[in-house]
Each structure stands twice: as C-alpha cells, then as structure tokens.
Structure 1
Amino acid sequence: MILPGSDSQALGSALAAETGRELAAVTYDRFPDGEGMASVDLDGTAPDRAVVVASTPSDTAYVELLQLQDAVREAGADHVTTVIPYMGYGRQERAFEPGQPVSARAVARAVATGTDRVILVNPHEASVTDFFDVPCSVVDAAPRLADPLPADLTDPLFLSPDAGAVSLAESVRDAYGGGDVDYFEKVRHSGTEVDITPSDADVTGRDVVVVDDIIATGSTMSESIGVLADRNAADVFVTCVHPLLVRNARTKLERAGVTAVYGTDTLEREVTTTSVAPVVADALGSAAAE
C-alpha cells in the first residue's frame, strides 16, 4: 500500500501505478487551532507492508510524514518503508557555527522512529544517510532528466554547477545518448564578486544543458545562464532533480534567458516534466527482495 504525503500526491499515484500497489485514501485535515492531522482510510483492512511517500519541503510536511507512519503502524502494518523524495533540512548536515544544530540528523532520527527502512532520492549531501537509525539507501534520478530534453540538441554540452557534481551531468548525458560534459568554475574576487565560467568547453553555437540536484533561489543558476548567453551559446536548458524554486527563482531564470526548465516530481511544480517513480519502484523491489 502506498500512502502519499500532501506534497507527493502525483508521485504517490505514479508509484502505485508503477508497482501495482494500492494507493491509500489519505486525508489531510487541520484543526481550528492550526494543528494538522494526516490519516488514512483502510476500509477495515490493515496492510502487511506499507510505503509512506512524502517530500518534506516544510516543517508541516515532516509532521505529516510522522503522522502517516504512526497511522499505518496503528492500523497494524508489520513493515513500513519511508520514501523521502526531497529531504528538507538535508543541506544542514553539520553545525556551521557553534551552538547550531545538525538539523538533518535531528529530523532523520525522528523519521527513523516510525519506519523500518528509508529511501532518499539524490540527497544534496550523501552523508545524511548515516543519520538514520534504520537502513537507508539512495536512488539516482538524474538519468530521468534526459527524458524531456529535445531529441535534436545541437552539439550538446552538459554542464554541472561545479566539479563535484560532474557525475550528475554525466548521468544525464549518458541517458540522453551523446554530448560532452563540463563544469562551471567559480572564482571569488570579493565578498560579492564571483566569476562563473565553463571550465574548458567552447559553448559557441551549442545547445547547453545545465544539470543540478536542486534549484532553490535560482541566483547562481541565473548567473550561469547569463554567462552562457554572453559566450554565444545557442539554447540553454536547465534541469534539476529537485525544483524547489522558492520566491522569484522562476522569474530570475526567465530573465536570464533560459530556453526551458525541467524538473522531476520529487517536488510537484509547474516545471515537473518527468517522474522518479520508476527508479523508486526499482528500489522498493530490491528492498522487498532483501
């Protein structure tokens, strides 16, 4: 049985279709005092195995996830797998200043109390898997980003935001079936002045696909698009696993001259054009076989 959080309803449906599992009737209510309650109508039948699928872009989403875990346990589920397509607080994997919490560790420990297994999709920091007190695995959804790209890209170049993320660009390039891979180099001249340039490749007249795991404010990405435009790139496509796109991020990208923005359904946005359901379904199948 698949139990979707309110931020993962489309993905929950796609995952149910992909796996052939039942999609649970989940409701999301709110009391007059502001407290929420996520509950499931099991129609008198308790599942042996349950899968909670819930992205956590907000504090509310985390509470909802914990409630769904507890609800299905209360109903008698013997085994619960929790899929977190987008893990909020995942970038706070260490204390950056004295006195600060390791927020990723705090939320991971809370999630682990109500589940037998956790599956994450491209966490920003792979080290967060160590914070869960239950088995935790990671699936790579980057190859899915090749699906919405035009089939006739001109001499395509796949760019990652830095050298450490080249593997993401390589995954998309390999899934697309051809092209070169490069990364942006950032040279800081002062606290506010940063040069962003492609490392080696000539972009003149080429279609460029910029690949990242997450786009939040869009500031760095829009600067990168501007650099590519200045260097006479042809079309510039932006792809990301997690299209968070907070505040005016979408406007920044459009003003910079992006041709199109593509994201997955780890976060359900207007730019969501492909689903991670197939790779999550494979991970669920592997988990069941263990």
Structure 2
Amino acid sequence: MNDDPMLIFAGSGSPRLTARICEYLHLPQGKNETLHFSDGNTFVRVLENVRGRRVYLVQSTIFPTNDMFMELLFWIDAFKRAGADSVTVIIPYFSYGKGDKKDEPRVSIRGRVCADAIEVAGADRVVTMDLHAPQIQGFFHRPVDNLYALPVLCNRIKAMNLPNPIIVSPDVGFAKQARRYASHLGTPIAIAYKERLAHDEKAVVMEVIGDVRNKTAVVVDDFTTSGGTLVSVANLLLEQGAREVYAAVTHSVLTGRAVEQIENSPIKRLFITDTVENHPVPFTAKIEVVSVAPLFGEAIKRIHNRESISEMFKGV
C-alpha cells in the first residue's frame, strides 16, 4: 500500500461519505470537479495525475438518479482516458437495483442495462451495499462486492438497550436478511405480509406473522422510499400489542412527504446509513444517520492490498 497509495475520489452524489472514508483511511481525498451546464449537460474533470494508479470512485446514483448515474459513467471514462491502471467504482446505493427482472410484458431489465453501461465505460470492479436484488451481481462480468450494513446498524440497535426486542421483516422477501439481524442480536423474529398492486410505491400490509405482544419491535429493511410500508407495519405492530416500534434501514431514499410521514408516525426512531445523501428534504430529530464509511474504507483497503472482503462479514 505504501508503494502504491490508493487514490479515492468523490462524485457529486457522495461527497460527505467519501470524506468520511478518507478520514477512516487517513488519506487525502483526490482532486476533481463536476460542472453542470444550463442545458443539463454534465462535465467532469480529474485535477491530478492518475496515470498507472489504482483509482477508487465513490458515487451513489440517486438525487437525481439519472444525472448521478450518467456522472458515474463519465468519471469512469475520464479516469480510464487519463491512464488509470484500474477503476473501482463504489456505488453505496445502486438505484436501479429493483430492475432485476422482466416481470411483465414489454419492460426493460434496468439493472442489466446499467451493469452493461458501467462495464462498457471501463469499470474494473464494483463495490456496493445491500443490493435490493443480490442476483444483479450476475449481470456483471467484473467482480462485484456486495457489502452489508447489518454490523453497524446492529451495533446501534444494541446500544439502545431496548427491552424485550424483536426483529420484524416488513415483507416475506426480506425475511432471510431479517433473520440475520435477529441472529446477530439474539432476538426472535416476526414477518409482515404485504401486497404491492401497482408501481405507485404503495403497499398494503395485511398481517404480521409472529407474537409481538409486549415486545419492542425493530423493523429492518434494505431501503425506504415513501416510508409508507414502515409506517403501516408500525401501526399494525402496535395494534397487535407491541410496546414500541423502531426501524433500521440501509438506504434512506426518502422522497416527497416521506420525512413528514415518518415524523408523524408511531416509530420512535429511524436509523439509516449515509449511503444516500443530497436528500431534497431535511431530516427531523426522529431520523438518525449511522455512517458506513468504516465498512467501505475497510473494503477499499482490502481490495487495494488484495485481501479477502468476506472476512469482514464472518458470522453475518
């Protein structure tokens, strides 16, 4: 590492997370700039020599999604054209992670299109966190490392010393990951059943499987957009006898009136990570950000030193 110091750059989608990663690694941040022209075009420029170097770019593709994704592609191309030996893209939140399949006629498999574009632009490796559809790793011909926010969120939940806790999955699809939370925390698990009937980001929570009476429920999920599912599950848990409800979510894609909805809900506190920033609406005191910079920093260090990343998540 001393003979080949890593170069870490921030895209405009993740400036604060990049700064925290560099702080964790005790490294200066790479110099670059992004310009946005009045006609909507994006211009990126590397401001230091990267020839023959191994470069790491941090860029979440959200707020605004398509602009941030195009900027990501431009950065990959810029580094490659500047002679970088390799470009590893750190995508804390992969916004098209839900587009993993053709589940109705005449639709695009958006995750596959994005994966192809990232590879064609010249990325050598991808690092992301809590992919909504882990099979998206198979869309790439390059290595993909899917990190887990579970350790940092569980540490924060443990620090709360909640009485009689129970982990709750908001749907059947997240039940397997929720079991990992429950196993890590040594708690029982309950599962909510919901149906999503359209593409309007609204789901109807039908019932909760499991006994939550007199328990402190912690709803865990990989992301939330409108906050509607979290609020619906929280209301149902209280109806079924839960004492209090907390929530822990990796990606806080909080749009529209989501923050207001969570603020007015019975959820005592929502723990989120900093995989998403540049939110359009400021947070209230009910929402607490837990940084995953140490996880990404450690992953970058291990990749650079050709060490195992899976060792970071033993027991998870």
Determine which of 177, 180, 184 is the counterpart of 2:192.
Answer: 184
Counterpart residue identity of residue 284, structure 1: I
Counterpart residue identity of residue 279, structure 1: L
**Which digits, 9 at most, give the CA deviation of each residue in 1:188-243, with x for residues without a partner?**
99xx9955332122x23321110000101222221101111222322211110001
Confirm whether residue 15 of structure 1 aligns to residue 17 of structure 2.
no
Is residue 57–residue 88 contact of structure 2 (8 Å, CA) maintained in 1? yes
Confirm whether residue 196 of structure 1 aligns to residue 206 of structure 2.
yes
Counterpart residue identity of residue 241, structure 1: T
Cα 1:130/1:231, change in 2 over 3 Å: same
5+ residue gaps, structure 1, are none
Cα 1:37/1:187, change in 2 over 3 Å: closer
Please identify, of 139-148 and 216-225, the stretch whose mean Cα deviation from structure 2 is larger. 139-148
Cα 1:25/1:126, change in 2 over 3 Å: same
Cα 1:76/1:11, change in 2 over 3 Å: same
3-state SS of paired residue (1:214): strand
Return the offset for 1:174.
4.6
**1:280 alignment partner in structure 2:** 296
TM-score normalized with structure 2 length:
0.82
Is residue 171–residue 193 contact of structure 2 (8 Å, CA) maintained in 1? yes
Confirm whether residue 84 of structure 1 aligns to residue 100 of structure 2.
no
Counterpart residue identity of residue 102, structure 2: A
**1:60 alignment partner in structure 2:** 67
For 2:88 and 2:196, the matched residues in 1 are separated by 43
Identity of aligned residues (%): 28
TM-score normalized with structure 1 length:
0.89
Cα 1:14/1:47, change in 2 over 3 Å: farther
Counterpart residue identity of residue 54, structure 1: Q
Determine which of 116, 124, 134 is the counterpart of 1:109.
Answer: 116
Return the offset for 1:98.
2.3
Is residue 205–residue 232 contact of structure 2 (8 Å, CA) maintained in 1? no
**Which digits, 9 at most, give the CA deviation of each residue in 1:150-169, with x for residues without a partner?**
53201011111123323433
Confirm whether residue 146 of structure 1 aligns to residue 145 of structure 2.
no
Return the offset for 1:254.
2.6
Please identify, of 33-42 and 57-66, the stretch whose mean Cα deviation from structure 2 is larger. 33-42
CA RMSD of aligned residues (A): 2.4
**1:211 alignment partner in structure 2:** 220
**Which digits, 9 at most, give the CA deviation of each residue in 1:5-43, with x for residues without a partner?**
21211111121122334311232211232211132321x
3-state SS of paired residue (1:98): coil
Is residue 122–residue 213 contact of structure 1 (8 Å, CA) maintained in 2? yes
3-state SS of paired residue (1:123): coil
Map 1:29-40; keep pairs closer than 5 Å. Answer: 29-40=35-46
Confirm whether residue 245 of structure 1 aligns to residue 254 of structure 2.
yes
Confirm whether residue 2 of structure 1 aligns to residue 8 of structure 2.
yes
**Which digits, 9 at most, give the CA deviation of each residue in 1:22-78, with x for residues without a partner?**
311232211232211132321x46461110111112000011111111222222210
For 1:80 and 1:188, the matched residues in 2 are separated by 38
For 1:39 and 1:174, the matched residues in 2 are separated by 46
Is residue 38–residue 67 contact of structure 1 (8 Å, CA) maintained in 2? yes
Is residue 249–residue 273 contact of structure 2 (8 Å, CA) maintained in 1? yes
Please identify, of 211-220 and 130-139, the stretch whose mean Cα deviation from structure 2 is larger. 130-139
For 2:161 and 2:50, the matched residues in 1 are separated by 50
For 2:271 and 2:52, the matched residues in 1 are separated by 36
